[in-house]
Amino acid sequence: GHRDFIKNMITGTSQADVAILVVAAGQGEFEAGISKDGQTREHATLANTLGIKTMIICINKMDDGQVKYSKDRYDEIKGEMMKQLKNIGWKKAEE
């Protein structure tokens, strides 16, 4: 499971200037990732704790059969990620 790779993730993140976090757009996948014990939330928290100042969020699997490149789904994920990252301690980039 992914727990076996946390040590590698921490080692790599501690030497990085920027993090790229890939989240799945699939119904249920995204929600599982941002849940209390979700991997997405955990990685965002660790990157912040380790001092990463910039994080790029990529939304993957927009071609999923249920998602079908839906702008509504994109906006839902973007909004939820912004909320979650703010709660973790990330600051929104200047646009």
CB distance 30 to 24 below 8 Å: yes
Q: Return phi, psi of residue 17, to 5°.
A: -100, -30
Q: Return the structure tokens found at 30.
A: 């995204």
Question: Any idea where the domains of the chain sit in the sequence?
Answer: 2-88
pLDDT digits (tens, 9 = 90+) for 18-36: 999 999 999 999 999 999 9
pLDDT band at 15 (very low <50, low <70, confident <90, very high): confident
Among 80, 28, 27, CA closest to 57: 80
CB distance 78 to 34 below 8 Å: no
Which DSSP state fits 26? S
- CATH value of 2-88 in 3.40.50.300, 1.10.287.3510, 1.10.10.10, 3.40.220.10: 3.40.50.300
CA distance linking residue 12 with residue 47, whole number of Å: 10
